[in-house]
Amino acid sequence: MTGPVRLKQFRTRRAGFDVVRQVRWTALALFLVLVIGTVGFIVLGLGPLDALYSTVFTVTTVGFQEPYDLDTAGKIFVILLMLGGIGTVLYSLTLLVAVFVDGHVSTLWEGRRMQRDIDGLSDHVIVCGFGRVGRASSRELDRAGRQIVVVELDEERLSNCPYLSVEGDSTDDEMLRKAGIERAYALVASLENDADSLFVTLSARALNENLLIIARARTEEAVPKFERAGADRVVNPQRLGGDRIAAFAEQPHVVDFLDVAMHDANIEFRLEDFEVAEGSLLAGMTVRDARHHEGGGAMLLALREIGGQFVTNPPQDRIIGPGDAVIAIGTDDQLRALRQAGQQKGPQLPPSLSINP
């Protein structure tokens, strides 16, 4: 199955949780009435079954003949049991009807089903904040085929969200756990202010040390703070917007081409990046051999060693090492073949013949 999981939008509303609490408290009150009534009738001299039977028909007002003779204390007990029990039963029935009429049952059922679907995800992307940046990020991730879980506190923003979602505060670790952060591939922190996004970054890094975290910074001063908090990438939309405007003014065709290559599914050639795995077929090859590898043909535009700088237009005899990031352009088939070569395990060379880039 390709593409992200699509479900009818549902949000676990706080009102739904209130109903669950009300049902639990009402059930507890009804149970206590039955226990108190049964114990009371046992004290009055009835057997356990007759005591429970008497309690039930007393609080339900069915009006059967009483199987007991009561003294003054017994009559007072029955009166109190009727007043307390009948009120509890009527409230329970009223709440039960309201739950079904207002659709809370279906809402809670859908909530459990959505949570089960989220619990079954792995390598998905969690988007914290569904404002303009969060929506745009989700749309592009969706287009790329990534599964998405949105975490948002604002119910109105979630009203048109087509993705799996959790309604709650992203700064709450429990909400991140509900979104499956332990199994996620990446997290996008794009909340209303830098302080909240920074807090989410700290929490996310503590919950999953291997998570790719991309944070939105509203000011340049916040960028180093996000980096210290554990963000792998920090994006300032205002700065990116300014750079993009300048690029359109200076090199509009280059910008258009990059947009098309990155986002237009109809174009034949696409840009893609991946990391070369240890012991893969691609590790140890030259750039020339990689391009002419069986099923290949993609052009390697740049290489980047771990923690190093980009080597653009790498020499044809440049050795590709394990851990190198590869940026290539080609058709979907060419890129797929190159990516598989960079991930598929190849024959191991003897130590004397192994190549150290």
Q: Domain locations in the chain? A: 14-101, 121-235, 268-357
Gyration radius of the chain over CA positions: 32
Q: What's the confidence (pLDDT) of residue 8?
A: 37
114 contacts: CB under 8 Å, gap ≥ 6: 7, 10, 12, 164, 165
Q: What's the confidence (pLDDT) of residue 356?
A: 38
CATH code reported for the domain at 121-235: 3.40.50.720
Residues of the chain with pLDDT under 70: 1-23, 61-70, 95-111, 260-268, 294-296, 346-357
- How many Å apart are CA 26 and CA 105, to the nearest integer? 16
- How many Å apart are CA 226 and CA 209, to the nearest integer? 15
As given in the structure block, the two tokens for residue 126 are: 């969690």
- How many Å apart are CA 246 and CA 244, to the nearest integer? 5
3-class secondary structure, 200: helix
Pick the CATH number of 268-357 from 3.30.70.600, 3.30.70.1450, 3.40.718.10, 3.40.50.300: 3.30.70.1450
Q: Provide the Cα torsion 101, 89, 22, 39; round to 10°.
A: -160
Q: What's the confidence (pLDDT) of residue 353?
A: 35
Q: What's the confidence (pLDDT) of residue 68?
A: 61
- How many Å apart are CA 281 and CA 338, to the nearest integer? 10
Q: Which residues pair with 328 in a beta bridge?
A: 272, 300
CATH top-level class of 14-101: mainly alpha
As given in the structure block, the two tokens for residue 45 are: 């001299």
What phi and psi, each to the nearest 5 degrees, are found at residue 205? -65, -35
As given in the structure block, the two tokens for residue 88 are: 């509890």
Q: Provide the Cα torsion 335, 338, 343, 349; round to 10°.
A: 180
- How many Å apart are CA 296 and CA 313, to the nearest integer? 18
The DSSP symbol for 308 reads: S
As given in the structure block, the two tokens for residue 243 are: 């750079």
Q: What's the confidence (pLDDT) of residue 124?
A: 95
Q: What's the confidence (pLDDT) of residue 2?
A: 33
- How many Å apart are CA 246 and CA 270, to the nearest integer? 24
- The type of residue at 74 is G
3-class secondary structure, 220: helix
Between strands 299-304 and 233-235, the pairing is unpaired
Edge-to-edge order in the sheet of strand 310-312: 270-275, 325-330, 299-304, 310-312
- How many Å apart are CA 138 and CA 157, to the nearest integer? 13
Helix intervals (H) in the chain = 14-43, 48-59, 72-101, 104-119, 132-143, 155-158, 173-178, 194-207, 223-229, 237-250, 252-263, 287-291, 332-343
Residues 234 and 226 sit within 8 Å (Cβ to Cβ): yes
Residues 151 and 166 sit within 8 Å (Cβ to Cβ): yes
Q: What's the confidence (pLDDT) of residue 14?
A: 44
**Letter string b/e over residues 23-32, b meaning 16 or more CB atoms within 10 A of that residue's CB:** beebeebbee
Q: What's the confidence (pLDDT) of residue 187?
A: 96
> Which pTM was predicted?
0.58
Between strands 299-304 and 310-312, the pairing is antiparallel
